[in-house]
Amino acid sequence: MIAEKANELGLSILNKQNQQIMCPIALHPTIMKQEVYNTIETITYQLSHVLNQIACETDILYSLKQYKDLLTLQLLDQLDVKKSILKDMYQSHLQFGVFSMRSDFLCEKGKPFLVECNTIAAGMAPLGQLTSTLHKQLGHLVNNDGLTVQTEYFISLIKQFKDSYNVNGIFLVIQQTNENNIFDHIALANSLKQKGVQVQFCEYQVLCGKIQVSSSNILFYENQPVACAYYRCGYQIEDYYNDFATRMIIECANCFSIPSIEAQLAGMKPLQQMYGELNSNIKSCLKNITGLDNISVNLDQYVLKCSAEGGGACVFGANDINTKIQQILKNDTQNQYFLMELINPDSEGENTFISQKGSETHLNTVTEFGLFSYFQVNMEKVVIGGYLARTKDIATKEGGVHCGAAVSNSVIFI
């Protein structure tokens, strides 16, 4: 019955064989105290403003050069190109950059700690709302308006574009080849289409031959004006196929880039410690971060992270971390990695996981809670709404739904 309801809602993912399967879910929503959520919401609001400050003060962004990550260096080079092309219009053009941000938290001793911020391909708001819709149908008192808030925000950008240029613009989803998150995109597209918005999908690899810019600097995709270019790729260097010129065409056009280069760079992992330096409340939710130059910490209490974006690059446990660090030092790439103190999440007790085949597994669980926020660069208004709850076995370190480490869930606030 649950699998049938999930399929009716479109609560699906692609497996490794590129087949549509039911998104694995938790049978029971997790519980969160309202005061914990209020803290997360406050921190997320302040994070949005701090990241905006960093995005606008590009001198901070250039400090990322020291980490020598190939994608980061390419994006910084493109930022120089963007400034050169736009010249005196650069500051006013910042408004076309948009944060679509998800801030992920884990609770330790009842207090939320920031795992990371995602400012590019920060999706899964539709997945979160669809999971809550399924839980409602199963009789649980949950609510998650992630897809609704996301839709309304993007529609506000499209309206702003029309008011400025007196033309109806489309919503362009730029995605990876063989995108495994396609059903999350489809849910957003269907929601926008219900509001009268035309949506197009295109893989970045073939985008160059399908776009052009008019004399009034409006971006066109297959002869259709583009109001919003929404990146569901671009967080790893392989996504670009050595073609950053296409990104630059979009970046300098008069359309909303979600995110802009500035917004993407502001969310890079190495800057996380700086968020706390700019805001004391954020600092209280950050674990210690240290480089590899002078290691004097208990490695069993830390996770080794790569400064590049994308999941699956974390190393846990002193033995594995030491082995990896020796490889890093041999390759002289220590600037591309850092150590972050582990968050020891609170156990939520036993829950039941429902697999795509309907089988049940009973596990002692924890939940990583991601709150969505939306922010137009160089503007003041922050929109917050909707969440992604990923529940996993307490013994599991990674937390992705698509990689099979976690399941989608809802939250009951008390």
Determine if residue 340 is labeled as part of a ligand binding site: yes
Q: Is 368 part of any known ligand binding site?
A: yes
For residues 228 and 219, is the Cβ–Cβ distance under 8 A?
Answer: no
Tell me whether residue 47 is annotated as binding.
Answer: no
> Measured between alpha carbons, how far is 124 from 371 in angstroms, rounded to an integer?
11
**390 labelled ligand-binding:** yes
Close Cβ partners of 159 (under 8 Å, ≥ 6 residues apart) = none
Q: Is 65 annotated as a binding residue?
A: no
Alpha-carbon gap, residue 105 to 162, rounded angstroms: 37
Distance CA 29, CA 412 (A): 6
| Three-state DSSP state, 161 | helix
Q: At what angle do helices 182-194 and 125-137 cross, to 10 degrees?
A: 80
User: What length is written for the chain?
Assistant: 414
Is 111 known as a binding-site position?
no
3-state secondary structure of 371: strand
d(CA 144, CA 312): 27
Q: Is there a binding annotation on residue 203?
A: no
Binding residue per annotation — 193? no
CA angle (266, 408, 402) in 5-degree steps: 70
Is 398 labeled as ligand-binding? yes
Question: Is 269 annotated to bind ligand?
Answer: yes
Q: Please enumerate, by residue number, every residue annotated as part of a binding site for ATP.
A: 269, 340-343, 368, 392, 398
Q: Please enumerate, by residue number, every residue annotated as part of a binding site.
A: 269, 309, 340-343, 368, 390, 392, 398
Q: Please enumerate, by residue number, every residue annotated as part of a binding site for Mg(2+).
A: 309
Q: Please enumerate, by residue number, every residue annotated as part of a binding site for substrate.
A: 390
